[in-house]
Chain A
Amino acid sequence: LAKTTQPISMDSYEGQEVNITCSHNNIATNDYITWYQQFPSQGPRFIIQGYKTKVTNEVASLFIPADRKSSTLSLPRVSLSDTAVYYCLVGDSYTGTASKLTFGTGTRLQVTL
């Protein structure tokens, strides 16, 4: 089971780019890297997933170096509404089934004016 380590909390001002780095030294060959966002009183929400190099969608970018032992979630120009907890997951895969999604403690991002 690949464990992940990420900062407990981060602060940012509105309009800035935020980069949250996650380390996963024991990542396995088949594991994908996934990030979720969670607002208070809501369930987590999928943000982005990647295997290697760079992935970008309308919400965020995910940078994964060649050794895949870490990844960085990049949120461009954050707003107050991006204040949430961000989880980095490395999914254990079972043959023929969907991934086991193991959440850590996450990074609490606070965005202020």
Chain B
Amino acid sequence: EAGVAQSPRYKIIEKRQSVAFWCNPISGHATLYWYQQILGQGPKLLIQFQNNGVVDDSQLPKDRFSAERLKGVDSTLKIQPAKLEDSAVYLCASSPGRGPMNTEAFFGQGTRLTVV
């Protein structure tokens, strides 16, 4: 079974530039998560989709971050404009199930973003 695919693996941009990350979840997984992980910290949930609807985006900095999951399959996360503090690994994960007992999510390798 193919895992969660993310691209690019690495990205270096200057502050105030824009960047986009792409995620292709495991086929059939209804739930998709985007996390931001700053070095030395645990992953922080940015947004959670159920199919193509947003379940939770309470920690997404909406003035500069946006995400979409058209057709309920793959997803893109965009930052515009980037700040130095956005330097982090951006992780995408997907999960097949519904309900409180479905807590197994499958993570991609992540995209390491460096803002200079």
Using CB atoms and an 8 Å cutoff, list the residues of chain A in contact with chain B. 30-32, 34, 41-46, 49, 51, 85, 87, 89, 91, 93-94, 96-106
- Residues on B lying within 8 angstroms of A by beta carbon are 4, 30-31, 33, 35, 41-45, 48, 50, 55-56, 91, 93, 95, 97-110
Bound-state Cα–Cα, A86 to B104, Å: 15
Q: A42-B109, A46-B104, A49-B103 are in contact. Are A96 and B98 (CB under 8 A)?
A: yes
Tell me, rounded to whole Å, the shortest Cβ–Cβ distance linking A27 to chain B. Answer: 11
Known A49-B104, A98-B31, A98-B50; judge A105-B91 contact (CB<8 A): no
Q: A43-B107, A43-B110 are in contact. Are A103 and B42 (CB under 8 A)?
A: yes
12 pairs, A vs B, C-beta closer than 8 Å: A32-B103, A34-B103, A43-B107, A43-B110, A44-B43, A44-B91, A49-B103, A49-B104, A98-B48, A98-B50, A99-B103, A102-B45
A98–B45 CB distance below 8 A? no
Tell whether, in the assembled complex, residue B103 and residue A103 are in contact, meaning their CB atoms are under 8 Å apart: no
Q: A43-B107, A46-B105 are in contact. Are A101 and B100 (CB under 8 A)?
A: no
If A32-B100, A44-B43 touch, does A100 touch B107 (CB 8 Å cutoff)?
A: no
